[in-house]
Each structure stands twice: as C-alpha cells, then as structure tokens.
A and B are shown apart, each in its own frame.
Chain A
C-alpha cells in the first residue's frame, strides 16, 4: 500500500497519501469491491410505510425462487433483537411494528442481485397501516400515544446558568429551522461477511467509522462471544457520521452464518437514504439580551431535535446543540431547554458538526439581528462578544482550550474579497448556471458572517480512548491501530508522526481490524488528537527502548540521546548513528492507549465540565442572488480556522474546502424532503449536492496556536469547516435580498416569493 519514499515526510510537511496511487488507478479495494469464492448476494426488504403493525409475514414464495438460499426475519435473530449506539432500541428486523419508511423487515441471500430483487418482491407482508407521528412538537405532548415502548422523548435537558432574571437593554428574538441533511458519502454501504468453517464465528469486512463498537453490537445480536466476531476495515468511501450506526452489518453476518457462504451486501443509493441516519432537523427559538453596546448578558433558547424513529445518538446530539447555543461568545446567564424526540420520520444521528450545526445557524442568525438592533456591523458585534481562553461557558465549564476567536474573525476579515461581478459574465458564473435564465441586472451581491465553537472528542464522561502499536526493526516502522480511515487521511498522518518521533523513513501501516484495542470512532474531529496521541505515545515508548539499547551498547546514559533528523545523537558526546543502523536485527514493539482527560455528566441544571476541548472558526461568504428567480451562487468563502498546528497543511486545506462545500449544501440545496413520514427524494437526481460548478473560491488562513492539552498540539480540523459557513451564506442572502431568512436550506421561494 505504501509507495517508496525518497524523502522523510515528517509532521508539518505536505506528506502525500500512501493509498493515493491505488486510489487514482482504481486498484484500491473499497468494501463494495470485494469478491469471494462461492459468495452469495444479500438484500434487505424494507417497510413501505412510516408506521404500521405487521399482521403477517410469509417468506415461502421467496424461498421457492430458484437461486434463493435464505430468507430471514426477526424470528431468525439468535441474540438480542435490537441494537443502538447509546440506547439499544432499534430492531435488527422489525418486530410487530414498523416505525419508519425503510425499516428493515426481512433479508434474503441469493445467487445474483436480480434474484435478490425478485425474492424481496415475493415476500408477503401484510400491514395494518397506522397514522404516523410526524410532528416533533406532538411527540412532546403527553396525550400523544407512545410509538415505542421507550416513549416519545429521547431526552430533555435544561441549562440554567447565572442570573436568570437579567433583562437586556436590547432584546432580539427569532425562530429558526434547519432541514434534514444527508451525509451522501459516495461509497455506498457495503460489506463482505465470511463465516468461519465451524459455523460459530464470522469475519466481517466492512466500511465503518468504529470497528470495535460495531463488533460489540453485532456480537450481541448474533448471540456470539465477541472474540468470534472479527472485523476488518473495508475501504471506506467517505463517512461524515453516517457509518457510526449499524446498517447492513448484522444482516450480512446472519445471512452468512445461515447459508454457510460468504455474503456480499451493498446498498443502492435509494436504499442508502433509508439505510443510515441523517442530520437532525431542528427548530430553535432563541432570545438574546444585550446591553445597548451589544454585550450579550443572557440567552434564552428552546431547541427541538427530531430524532426520528430510533434513538441512535439523538441524546448526545441534543447535548451538543444546547451546550453550543451561546456560540463562541461570552454569555454570563442562560436558560435553555432542549428536547430530542421520537417520531415516525427517518432516524437521525451523527453528521459532521453533530448538533452544533443546528445551534450555529440559530445563534449566528441572532448575532446579525443583534448587530442591527445595536447599530453595529456584523464584525463588530462578534468581536465585542468573542470568547477567550478562561471564559466560562453556560454549562459552568471553563474554556481551557486555546480560544483565538477574535483572531479567527480578524484574519477572516483581512482576507481579500472577490472582484465584483462583471457586466456580461459567462452564464455558468450566474446563479442557477446554464439552462436557467438569470440575468446580471437582477443580481444582488451580499456578504455574510458566521463564527462557531465546536467541541472535539466525546463528552459527558465517555472515555473514547485510542490504541496504537509501534514496531521498529532495522529502521522500518510498522504501525497498527483500529482507526477507521474514511478519507480524512489518518493513514498519511500516522507515518508522519512515526517519522518525526523515530527518525525513520519507511513506515508500514498494517490493516485496520479488531485484533488490536479500540481506536474509538472516526468522528467528533477526534482522531488526530486521540489516535494521533496513541501513535505518538507508542512511537515514544519504542524510542525509549531504542535509546536504552543504544545507550547500553555504547556505555552512555540513554537520557543523553535524542533523534536528529534520521540519526540518534549523543547530546553530551560524539556518538552519531543512523536509526537504521542503531540496532541491527533487534525488534522493539510497544502498545500505547491514549486517554483524554475525564469529562463529567451535566446535572439537572445543565452544569458540568462535559466537554474535553474546543475548536473555533470564522467564515465570511460572498453570494450573488438573482432576486427575481430566487437563485443563489456562492462566489467566495473566506475562513480562518483555529487548528492548533498544521500537521499536514495540504490535508488541512482539503478538509477546509470539503467541509465548506458540505455547509454550502445545507445552506442552499441539500434537504431530505419528508412528507407524512415519507422520504420524497431518495436519489441524487432529487437530493442535490454541490458540483464543481457550485464550488466557491475558498481563501483561508490557518491559525496555529498549539493547544497544550493536545498530544501533537493540533486540534481536529474535520467538523469546524462545515459549521459556520451555512449561517454565513444565509446571512449573505439576507444582505443581498433584505429577506428575513429563517430556515436552511434557503429555497428559491424563500427569496423571491
């Protein structure tokens, strides 16, 4: 997998991806590219109704089809019948009721995907269709019948902080709505499940964000000891949160164990829209109190997250939402009520930004209003309230992280603006592009701002540690970890760490699987910090052993030795020896677990040190809007991001630009349309994603103030880019149009009707 290196790509360089050559040649094995002798295909039957009682299932017509080898329903699940990341409330296959459109009811194994399709069509399921609960407000009403034995409210949490009786000189208030976004990774869900010869175990090759969490949930549902369920990371075609929950894992393993044959399963794009969780749609009512000079004195907010039919991570998303509703601004007092509720809408869970996206759209829309109410500019209001290290959050938690909010804003503001729209631009440069009839004279340009705070790592007492092993022999390092590489580039970063610590050039990254301890999830912008910390720790332990060996061999104290470039150097003598020559034939191996500092649960008033660390970012968006047609073109996004330290500047740039495109999507085009519990646009024809013609120019500044808590000084950079760009674009549309934009995505009718 690794290419031959002729230079030492240490930390801070633009090291290139070791899997790059395989990926550009089409030789990299994604989980959907796997093939096995004697394999069968698996497929899932899904509910056509958002809410219904299952009266009867008859699988015999499907079993009668030539080529069909198995048809499974809930009756065939040998272990626990449900799974879930936090609450195990989601059935492997529906039991008695289906609670969302697309809920799995049965699975088939057959010799060809077309045979699978015919078998699914032949299964008879008789439903008693029920009226779905689709309004999250009704879920809060205690008179609404529960649609699940666990009730209709996943979690309610209040935050009460400071002097709640304070009233501001200026009060601004608004109600905001965020639509349901899909992660829309390109590489559809896919897996290869291979049964052990004795039928009492399974090996699953799977595209996932968290191998060990999957392993735990799968083993429980299969009724197998955890060691008999071995997971290997299949090539992952993007994730963005959608691979944190179980999708086809248990189904493919069950089919493999039943048929005693390898099972290949892969979703279509339509099925993928039903097969994974989405970003929570949310409604946020928020009131800011400020002094006449714009200084915030209190916020009051109510946040309602629609979690859909099953819990997934709704309770954690809720906490992220309410604990970030103040934004990156000082706020001495707060009263916040947050609810995550169950409905018969599609289940929602993790997506890049995890609850903070929803909070940020609301607080940044409010900051614009507050600026206008106080007669300040959009930049001035944010600078006046900008959070600093040492400030106290509305949870009572002190901000110990480096918090360069003011610098993020000022450096963004200093980035150059794009040239004005020329008189007769190419039609492709106009809002709507080719085929639509935008005319330059109808175009108004707007500039908008967004600034955000994002927690990194897991919260509320969870110890999301990471494990790594480093082996050194004759100057060649092998690294082993279970860190999911989903495209973010940890396979590039880990060798950079080893080269920096150990002075080596050649680093092999071993396959990611469950034969080593957990690395936690590739989410929450956490792997650079957590798995980076684990790799760094393991390499440092190996370096100690190497120094001891060299010290002993040369009769000097190992403490005198350091690595300089590719050599071991005696700081108090003349010894200077290449790492590659330092210990011929000797193998050093060390394993290290990195744990972040402990966090706490919130109390009943939402007080507690619940988060580990924070990262900050500012965005400025320039948009052109055709005010007659309601079309938007995002011309440029400027951003300054607090990243701690640029371990791989090229990789950071890719994260910034990619996150901005996803935030742009939520701002102006991406929404899973759900009507009466039914998804109306489960395809790339109808769910619109930013294309190369939609991508704005991105100008940026990296703010490098190494965080003393971070093992490598670096904060995760994955989530912040997508968070405040959405309100920045919405704000720019407001500036261009004078319209009161209260929801994202902004639709043409919100602009021109």
Chain B
C-alpha cells in the first residue's frame, strides 16, 4: 500500500513502532502481522466471537473492531503479556488441567476475557461467568470444561485470600 503511516503502540508494557502501515488496519491485524503477536485470533471480523479479545486500558475489547492507529494512547495487553516467559497464569494452567482446550483457537480470547472478569469480580456466580464469556464462542468444547476451569480458579483464589 502506498499510504505510509508511522505510529507507536504500547503493547504488553513495551513501546512498539508501527511502520509502513495502511491507515485502515485493525488493531488485530497490526498485532498479528506487524508486531509478531499472533495470540489474538481473527474468526468473525465483527465482534461476535471474541477470539481477538485484548485488554485496552483495563477493558476487554474485540481488537478486530479497533483501528490500530486510534489505539496510540492506550495501554494494550494481549494474551502473550499475561504471564512472564515460561510460566502460566492460574487461568491458563486451569484450562489445561480441566480439558478446556481442544482446537484452542478460541482459547487466547477466553483466557483474556476470564482474567478480565476475575480482576473485576473475584467471586462471580456461575451465571455471571456464563454471561461474561457469552461473547466468546467456542465451537469444540460445548463450554462445560471451560466452566470447570473457571470454577477451579475461583476456588483456588478464594482459598488463598
């Protein structure tokens, strides 16, 4: 593309310069194709499936619906930024332990959405969990093992409080 845009995004605590971009690129595209962060996935391009969920200034958003160039002032956190290298968050470990991962395409978006939920509401009811992740479509699991994974995290965190 001929349009040459340069701007800087704050992603997982780092300043990341975006060069030679087209102004119409979504945040999802820029994260995946320009910044080497393919954890957020594209599966619907219209904010229905939640696979592209990232945090912007503490709120979960569908990165497919955000223009990257409009996110210059935001603090962006992706699934890659949740745990230090070589480690897993409690939610990530619980997903593995409970069989909540099958194909895994929806998984990064769900992990981000669940961290977002538990950060704001440490002890959600089962129904609140369901509602919180109802914007994240999973086609493989039927959600049962995902609910179990979240429940385990709630109980573990409750026990250590």
Contacts and interface: CB of A to CB of B under 8 A. Distances in A.
Interface in B114-161: 127, 129-131, 133-147
Interface residues of B, number: 63
B1 A695 contact: no
Nearest to A722: B142
A66 interface: yes
A20 B138 contact: no
A684 B83 CA distance: 31
Nearest to A35: B33
B75 interface: no
A534 B139 CA distance: 29
A114 B3 CA distance: 11
A186 B144 contact: no
A728 interface: no
Interface stretch (A225-233, A314-322, A389-397, A486-494): A486-494
Contact of A657 (B44, B83, B145): B145
Contacts, number: 197
A114 B78 CA distance: 25
Given A237-B105, A487-B102, A428 B130 contact: yes
Interface in A418-439: 426, 428-429, 434
Contact of B46 (A434, A651, A656, A684): A684
A187 B130 contact: no
Contacts of A67: 1
A240 B102 contact: no
A440 interface: no
Contact of B2 (A35, A66, A658): A66
Interface in B66-86: 78-80, 82-83
Given A660-B142, A693-B134, A16 B127 contact: no
Given A25-B92, A661-B142, A426 B127 contact: yes
A684 B142 contact: no
B137 A684 contact: yes
Contacts of A113: 29
A202 B115 CA distance: 42
Contact of B143 (A28, A33, A692): A692
Interface string B37-76: 1111111111011010000000000000000000000000
B139 A692 contact: no
| Interface-centre pick from B83, B99, B138, B146 (highest chain A CB count, 10 A) | B99
A693 B142 contact: no
A684 B49 CA distance: 7
A25 B80 contact: yes
B41 A657 contact: no
A244 to B, nearest CB: 16
B88 interface: yes
A115 interface: yes
A16 B51 contact: no
B142 A658 contact: yes
Given A486-B103, A487-B102, A186 B137 contact: yes
A80 B129 CA distance: 53
B125 to A, nearest CB: 9
A454 B145 CA distance: 25
B142 A657 contact: yes
Nearest to A41: B33
A238 interface: yes
Contacts of B133: 692
A345 B78 CA distance: 41
18 contacts: A20-B95, A21-B88, A23-B104, A24-B88, A24-B104, A25-B39, A27-B80, A114-B1, A114-B22, A186-B51, A426-B127, A429-B127, A487-B104, A654-B99, A657-B143, A657-B144, A660-B142, A689-B139
Interface of B: 1-2, 22, 24, 29, 32-33, 36-46, 48-49, 51, 78-80, 82-83, 88, 91-93, 95-99, 101-108, 111, 127, 129-131, 133-147
